[in-house]
Chains A and B, each alone.
Chain A
Amino acid sequence: MSSKNNNNPLVEVKDLKVYFDINVGFLKTKPLKAVDGVSFSINKGETLGLVGESGCGKTTVGRTLLHLYKPTDGEIWFDGRKIENKEDLQILRKKAAMVFQDPYSSLNPRMTVSDIIGEPLDVHRMYSNKQERRERILELMDYVGLNSEHASRYAHEFSGGQRQRIGIARALAVNPDFIVCDEPVSALDVSIQAQVINMFVELQEKLGLTYLFIAHDILVVRHISDRIAVMYLGKVVELADAKEIYDQPLHPYSKSLLSAVPIPDPETARKSKRIVLSGDIPSPLDTPSGCPFRTRCPYAIDKCAESMPPFEEVSKGHYVACHRVKEIN
């Protein structure tokens, strides 16, 4: 626990922008601003939760960290090293890995479990002889609670939860320091989610991992994260300790997001006053000027349309991007 508080950023993102060119007509393209100026850092051994709804850019952030998408602008720093050229990328790929959302499409149906888990080892040529490779694969399977006899089976023979474990084992293969977890439990049954979440926590303690945990289920994110960042239309609107965001959200969007989550407790559900937003989430192709949330914000004023509010530290470790944050709270 204490290691998380010594400001030792493993991952740093500075004003990251990821724009995609979308064809909107004959020979005409428009930029889709998936990520529009995002900055945060993750300390060693910490879990940063990233929440938001569709179009907020959280998945894009995660994938860009692993260079699956090329950043349009901004910087990514990993372990004190700016990621700029191929060399940096090579190093990044050995130290960072990703766990994907869909247990059904994230595993190649034609490969055995052993080959799936061993693929990173093969790509990086980490083992020269078969024996060592096999031992490492069995070790990884053991970490995630898979039976060694399952090594020669095919992915489709397993349930959703087991497949996710295979995906986690694959991510651990190169012994990474940092794992991006992209909605890893969203596609699983509720009773299985708990198993996998526990495993994530265990592995973090055992192997000293750092996580970026992307999810849309607030309750899950709150459970596993140390700090949480809330995203809306490509921007981070609030960033704070998990408990603080949940108990005391400052940004209007965070407030409505948290109040919209249905709580599995009938009495609380009856008593709670829900902030229901009107309107739909704007498309990332046509982001509103100034603050992207202003079209649905109950507190919006003219200033909100004119300029994007700065991302400022309002209290210790608690950052908010809202012009009226002090007045509202």
Chain B
Amino acid sequence: MSKKLLSLQLDLDDFIPATDEEKKYMVQMRQSTTFFRDGVKRLLKNKVATASFIIIVLITLLSIILPMIWPYSYDAMLGVSPGKPVDASYNNLRPFEYGATEKKLIEQGEKVFPHILGTDSSGRDYFIRVVYGTRISLAVGFFASIIVLVIGMTIGSIAGYAGGKVDLIIMRIVDIIYSLPDMLMVILLASVLRVALGEQIDNSALSKIGSNIISLFIVFGVLYWVSMARLIRGQILSLREQEYVLAAQSTGAKGSWIIRKHLIPNSISVVIISTALQIPNAIFTESYLSFLGLGVNAPMPSLGSLASEALNGLASYPYRLVVPAVVISLIVLSLNLFGDGLRDAFDPKLN
């Protein structure tokens, strides 16, 4: 047999057994990440979603902070002082225009903060009304979504977990509500509630929020929970068959324990994504309700009501319609893009 040559430079020392440490050292544990961190990483890689998120955060922050520091408030009709005749020079000013009275004040050496978007027909600074309107729209959208989330999640998880007759009845109710034309229903309910509850709310502690907004929340609570319920139910139906649920059942865990500890935590990502996409829906609904006059009560502005009011002077002051419309579009678009990004990043099925 011919003697063979090794292609590597080795010597006899290389052939002694390796120690356990050396073997362990070969294997480096991968950095452990949780599902959450993985998802966030993926989300950040999605530039559109990240940009949308930044836009939403910016808008939200501005809508909260600006009214606090702005010298004009949303409901102050600048030309109106109690006991004096109305000073019309403040009304209908163009952007950065000064009214007659203001011009006098400037000549007198006083500083008058410019009206970035002019004033409306009642002498209110338009810019701050837009900002405040954004705040209202965002708040309504957000809280309405929370209501939808809570109701939808509760009903959906009961239907999904209980199954059988309970599930059947709940789902038929869902089907009925789903089949109603929602715009029509929303308008109907909003008008009815406005009239029915209007007085009661105005006299109670909730009057500050406005009867219309309360009825709006009720409308959402009654109608919009259905899609969330269906979604949750679907999730729970599929999760219910998972072996870890069986394992919990085999130790004797009760239904509420299983829903709380197993089913809901594993539905969270679906819930968050759905809520993120629900918010723009709510904002949009509020906007068109306010546009139709069924939303917030005057003088509180909302982007929709501002757009509605702008129709009167559309020819002369088109920006009064354009600005709130653009803001609504921006918010809705950003939230939708962000929600899509969330779904791409966190939806386990895409793995």
| Residues in A lying within 8 Å of B, measured CB to CB | 63, 66, 68, 89-90, 93-94, 97-98, 100-102, 105-111, 116, 119-120, 123-124, 153-154, 156-157, 167, 170, 173-174
Contact = CB atoms under 8 A, between A and B. Distances in A.
Contacts of A101: 243
A108 B246 CA distance: 11
12 contacts: A68-B249, A68-B250, A93-B252, A105-B244, A106-B242, A106-B247, A108-B244, A108-B262, A108-B266, A111-B261, A123-B253, A154-B35
Contacts of B265: 108, 110-111
Contacts, number: 68
B34 interface: yes
A43 B144 CA distance: 61
Contacts of A68: 246, 249-250
Contacts of A111: 261, 265
B243 A105 contact: yes
B96 interface: no
Contacts of A94: 252
A219 B124 CA distance: 86
B248 interface: yes
Interface size class of B (residues with CB under 8 A): 20 to 34
Contact of B266 (A93, A110, A157): A110
B251 interface: yes
Contacts of B34: 154
Nearest to B30: A157
Given A105-B244, A110-B266, A90 B252 contact: yes
A97 B242 CA distance: 17
A106 B251 CA distance: 13
Q: Residue among A90, A102, A106 with the most chain B CB within 10 A?
A: A106
A101 B242 CA distance: 11
A107 to B, nearest CB: 6
Contacts of A153: 32
Interface in B242-290: 242-244, 246-253, 257, 261-262, 265-266, 268
Contact of A97 (B244, B250, B261): B250
Given A105-B242, A106-B244, A107-B244, A156 B35 contact: yes
A123 B243 contact: no
B349 to A, nearest CB: 14
Nearest to B243: A106
A119 B258 CA distance: 11
A116 B268 CA distance: 19
B150 to A, nearest CB: 20
Contacts of A156: 35
Contact of B251 (A110, A154, A167, A174): A174
A89 B251 contact: no
